[in-house]
Structure formats: C-alpha cells, structure tokens
A = this chain, B = another copy of it.
Amino acid sequence: MVDAAGPWVGGLLGSVEERLAEVGDSYGALLAEHAGATIAAGGKRLRPLLVLVAAGAEPLTPAGLVRAGVAVELVHSATLVHDDVLDAAALRRGRPTVWASAGRGAATAAGDLLFAAAFAELARNERADEIRALSRAGSALALGELLQREDAWKADVPVARYLHRCELKTARLFEAACTLGVLEAGGGPQEAAGLAAFGRRIGLAFQLLDDVLDVSGPAERTGKHRGTDLLDGTVTLPFILARERSAALAAVDPRAIGSPAQAAALCDQIRATGALEASREQALALVDAAKEDLPHRDTAQRRALELIADSVVARYA
C-alpha cells in the first residue's frame, strides 16, 4: 500500500517518522515522557500516508509535505491523548496511556501541547490555507467529541446524528490530510475538493469499522475489551441497528450496562441480529463510493488511494 504511489512515499513516511520523534523530544523531558510514547506507539500513520499520496507525485522539495503529514499526525495524537483522559482508558495499543501513567492533568496538558505543536509545525509552510484546513479539522474533532458527550447514554440516537458525529470526530481529519497534500503539491480548489470528498468518505468508513470492531473484537487484535463503547455510554451504529431488529435490545438502557461481562454478552446479542454485517456494509458502500468518484485516470496515485480506501475497511477481516 505504501509503495503503490511510488517508492518516494515510503521514503517520505520515514521522514515524517523522524520528525515526529524530534518533535516528541523538542519540548523537553516532560513531553518526551508523556506524549512521546503516544506519538511513538504510532499505529499505521494512515493520515500522513494520505497527505503524501494526495500530493500525487514526489515534490522537488518535500519538506512542506512532510511537515503537513507531521502536523496531521500530531493533531491525531493530541486527540488520542485527550480521548484516553475522557474515557479513563488504561491501555492504548497494549501500552499504558498517558492518563494511566501520568494522570489526568498531565494528559490534558500533553494533548494541548501536541495540538499546539501541530500548528507550530504547519506554520513553517507559510500557507494560511493549510492552517485553515487543519484548524477546521481541529474544531470539527472537538465538536464531534462534544456531540458524543451530549449523546452519551442515549440509546435512541438517530443514525443521521451518529453519522454526523463520526464525520466531525474522524472524517474531517482524513479530509484535511487529503486537502493538505493537494495544496502542498500546488493543486487548485477543484482538485482539492475532489480528494477532500474521498478523504471524508473513507474517514467515515474508518470510524464505522472502528465501531464494528469494538463490538466484534477480537480483543487480542483491537487491544481492548469488547463493548468498551457500550460501557462508556457511546451508542454506535451496531447498537442503533440492532435495536431496530430486536425488541429485547431496544429495551436495554445503556446506563444499566455495568460490567465488561455484561457488555460482552450484549455484544453477542448485537452480533446475533446481523447488525455488524449491516454496519460493515455501510462502511464498504462508503469506500466504494469514495473510489468511484476518484478522477478517472489510471495513475499510480489512483491505485494507491484505492488501496488505502480498501485498507480502512479490511482491518482484521
């Protein structure tokens, strides 16, 4: 997937990685300790990969593109750190979270710092349009989190509201990643809009699948117990659809789900309704639509974007 757009992508992803490590160190021992681990834990660097592939070709001077990738990943890391505080999550990808190792205050501050560092990094590109794209995504992330809190413990969240929340919480940063790649490559508004729509759709699909995985597990692959969303009061698509299919599930009050064992049992009931397949189908449909609307050119960029789109719904399949 990384090499599909050309070998330069892997090279620049390596530069993104180096710079992320530098940023983790550059704010001193405290951040290195608290946020460095979150940055390093890393994951797949899907958002920086999108930045690079959206650019289309290796730029003569790639520093700006690398900075854009770093900035997007820093915003993502900031969100992870804050989410772990809000969810009181002890583990992320099998490692202790900043919240668990350093406490609520340090984790909140570490998230703020990563967020500020993202804008400091992107400012070096001297492009106000890029700052605007990233700050819009940052606002959307926070609004999505607000909506999620607002909707907490409400079993009857409408699907449209759920999708809107996912768009804010996840899809807009994917969108910003694509936009930044196009802008850094010197692309115009039309090209940016086309790839922005692609990013938004696969971002939404990514979140839908995330929510499926929370119910389906397996816990060894997701790194968390099944049903953590249910325990947090976060009502997601599988539960929404399962409630339409099962009177017993429709009668469940999310506040009554008190233990991981109860949550796991509920996950089994949700699965039995076929709601997981239905949710996954929605994610697949979004990915198909995203791929179809890509410019009809047979390029390495197009193939790489298709592979990325497929990858967001192929996790643990």
In the complex, the answer to whether A108 meets B135 with C-beta atoms within 8 Å is no
Q: How large is the interface on A (under 10, 10 to 19, 20 to 34, 35 or more residues)?
A: 35 or more
Answer whether residue A147 sits at the interface, using C-beta atoms and an 8 A cutoff: yes
A132 to B146, CA, bound (A): 28
Contact, CB under 8 Å: B116 / A149: no
User: Which of B27, B31, B82, B139 is within 8 Å of A27, CB to CB?
Assistant: B139
A120 touching B142 in the complex, CB below 8 Å, given contacts A112-B82, A128-B125, A150-B106: no
Instruction: Spell out A's residues near B (CB within 8 Å).
Output: 27-28, 30-31, 34, 78, 82, 85-86, 102-106, 108-113, 115-117, 119-120, 122-128, 131-132, 134-136, 138-139, 141-143, 145-150, 152
- Give the secondary structure class of A's interface: helix
Q: Which residues of B contact A122 (CB under 8 A)?
A: 131
Check A142/B119 contact, CB under 8 A, given A85-B108, A128-B126, A149-B106.
no
**5 other A-B residue contacts (CB within 8 Å) besides A119-B119, A125-B128:** A30-B146, A109-B143, A109-B146, A109-B149, A113-B139
Contact A138 B119 (CB under 8 A): yes
Complex interface: chain B residues within 8 A of A34 (CB): 146
Also in contact, A82 and B106, with CB within 8 A (given A131-B119, A139-B117): no
State how many copies of this chain the complex holds: 2
Write out the residue numbers on chain B whose beta carbons fall within 8 Å of the beta carbon of A86. 104-105, 108-109
Complex Cα–Cα for A103 and B132 (A): 29
Sampled A-B contacts (13; CB under 8 Å): A30-B150, A31-B146, A82-B108, A82-B112, A86-B104, A86-B105, A112-B142, A115-B138, A116-B141, A119-B131, A119-B138, A120-B139, A128-B131
